[in-house]
């Protein structure tokens, strides 16, 4: 019971957040992360791989040297080892300091890129959207960029979370463990500007099916960590699904002229798809040269290019009003947080008094069982309080949505 209380304690101290309402990108101008990259040098990198660590408690096989040698044999320009809560870099060119943050059952993890330090804050069991935002806010100072890995595993990030969370810049959209375009579109559809990543998430580089299956191709002048991180932050990269780290396809240009998006890809392309909100394919061509004029309903457009054994997932071009894409940030709801703390404190004080009275009337022999009973009641009361607060916030959100709809300004979520 004591262990359970310790595991649940972080859930009770997380604040309640007020999230920016989901709203699609809007405006008559377009932000294109690939503008001016016609002569770019593309670097092949992997940002997610594990070795044996923590005495074998975590899932990983081999050493850091074995991981790096496996990727260098395939011609990779940079590889990062992302063990859980272990910052790694050997000082060599392209050796990014990365670790995977997360000690929770739902696998709501975060890749901290350019990590300067390791943070340990997490909620091991309870993972509401408020707990997830709490962790993201805490990690902002730990590294240069934050990436959400495997968002669909164990439903670690559901649609509610993906439409609400802020403060991260990247999301894995392809890896050995799956394809998460749906989750990517959920975040983009809510106006969250998130760039896509491809990573192996290899746990055993001796298994050829775990190495060189997904990677990120970065348009960068060098393989220095600061250059790669800058390119990733600005979306100058492509997530790739292929084989053995080799792609016969190469992005030549992505340009927006006179309201028409034009894409050119070298190599044996079998299909080029222009994808809009909700993951709906707006236009498709069987060629390496394609163009599409976005409609007024297209808040963003991303392109997927397929070859015989390779898929390129290009980052989206998004609408804005001429001053750049606005940055969205969740903020702590002080009133709701204060209410939650009040309920928690009152519950614990009441139960503490009850335990003392039980001890006085029933004797010290039953204090242990009474304490366990009281803790169980306390945890249930805290859970009930959290549910009540969430319900109250949903009612307030629904009221605001109804008011907007009555004024003709409501935004209908895009569903697949």
Q: Identify the band that residue 293 occupies on the pLDDT scale cut at 50, 70 and 90.
A: very high
Per-residue model confidence (pLDDT) at position 129? 95
Mean pLDDT computed over 395-403: 46
Highest mean pLDDT among 97-106, 132-141, 143-152, 193-202: 193-202
CB 277 within 8 A of CB 299: yes
The yes-or-no verdict on residue 3 having pLDDT over 70 is: no
Strand ranges (E), 267-340: 271-275, 281-285, 289-292, 300-306, 311-314, 317-320, 331-332
Per-residue model confidence (pLDDT) at position 360? 67
* DSSP H helical ranges for 190-277: 225-233
Per-residue model confidence (pLDDT) at position 364? 52
Model's pTM, two decimal places? 0.84
For 58-89, write each residue's pLDDT tens digit: 889 999 999 999 999 999 999 999 999 998 86
Per-residue model confidence (pLDDT) at position 88? 80
For 159-179, write each residue's pLDDT tens digit: 999 999 999 999 999 999 999
CB 300 within 8 A of CB 191: no
The yes-or-no verdict on residue 363 having pLDDT over 90 is: no
Q: How far apart are CA 62 and CA 313, in angstroms?
A: 30
Mean pLDDT computed over 243-269: 96
Q: How far, in whole angstroms, is CA 415 from its chain's centroid?
A: 20
């Amino acid at each position: 019971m004591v262990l359970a209380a310790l595991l649940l304690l972080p859930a009770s101290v997380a604040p309640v957040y007020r999230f920016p309402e989901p709203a699609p990108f809007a405006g008559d101008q377009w932000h294109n992360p690939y503008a001016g990259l016609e002569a770019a040098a593309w670097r092949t990198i992997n940002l997610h791989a594990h070795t044996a660590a923590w005495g074998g408690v975590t899932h990983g096989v081999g050493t850091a040297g074995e991981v790096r040698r496996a990727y260098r044999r395939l011609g990779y320009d940079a590889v990062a080892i992302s063990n859980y809560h272990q910052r790694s870099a050997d000082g060599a060119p392209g050796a990014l300091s990365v670790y995977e943050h997360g000690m929770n059952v739902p696998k709501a993890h975060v890749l901290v890129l350019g990590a300067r330090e390791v943070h340990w804050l997490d909620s091991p069991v309870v993972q509401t959207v408020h707990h997830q935002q709490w962790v993201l806010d805490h990690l902002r100072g730990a590294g240069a960029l934050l990436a959400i890995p495997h968002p669909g595993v164990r439903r670690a990030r559901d649609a509610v979370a993906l439409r609400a969370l802020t403060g991260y810049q990247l999301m894995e959209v392809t890896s050995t463990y799956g394809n998460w375009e749906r989750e990517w579109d959920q975040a983009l559809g809510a106006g969250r500007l998130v760039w896509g990543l491809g990573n192996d998430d290899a746990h055993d580089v001796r298994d050829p099916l775990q190495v060189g299956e997904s990677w990120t191709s970065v348009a960068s002048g060098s393989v220095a960590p600061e250059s790669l991180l800058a390119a990733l932050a600005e979306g100058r990269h492509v997530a790739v699904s292929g084989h053995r780290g080799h792609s016969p396809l190469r992005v030549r240009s992505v340009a927006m002229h006179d309201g028409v998006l034009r894409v050119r890809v070298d190599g044996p392309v079998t299909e080029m798809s222009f994808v809009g909100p909700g993951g709906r394919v707006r236009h498709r061509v069987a060629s390496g040269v394609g163009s599409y004029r976005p409609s007024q309903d297209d808040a963003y457009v991303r392109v997927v290019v397929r070859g015989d054994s390779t898929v390129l997932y290009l980052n989206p071009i998004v609408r804005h009003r001429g001053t750049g894409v606005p940055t969205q940030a969740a903020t702590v709801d002080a009133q709701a947080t204060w209410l939650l703390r009040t309920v928690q404190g009152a519950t614990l004080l009441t139960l503490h008094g009850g335990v003392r009275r039980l001890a006085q009337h029933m004797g010290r022999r039953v204090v242990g069982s009474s304490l366990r009973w009281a803790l169980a009641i306390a945890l249930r009361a805290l859970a009930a309080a959290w549910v009540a607060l969430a319900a109250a916030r949903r009612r307030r959100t629904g009221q605001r949505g109804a008011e907007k709809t009555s004024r003709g300004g409501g935004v209908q979520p895009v569903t697949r």
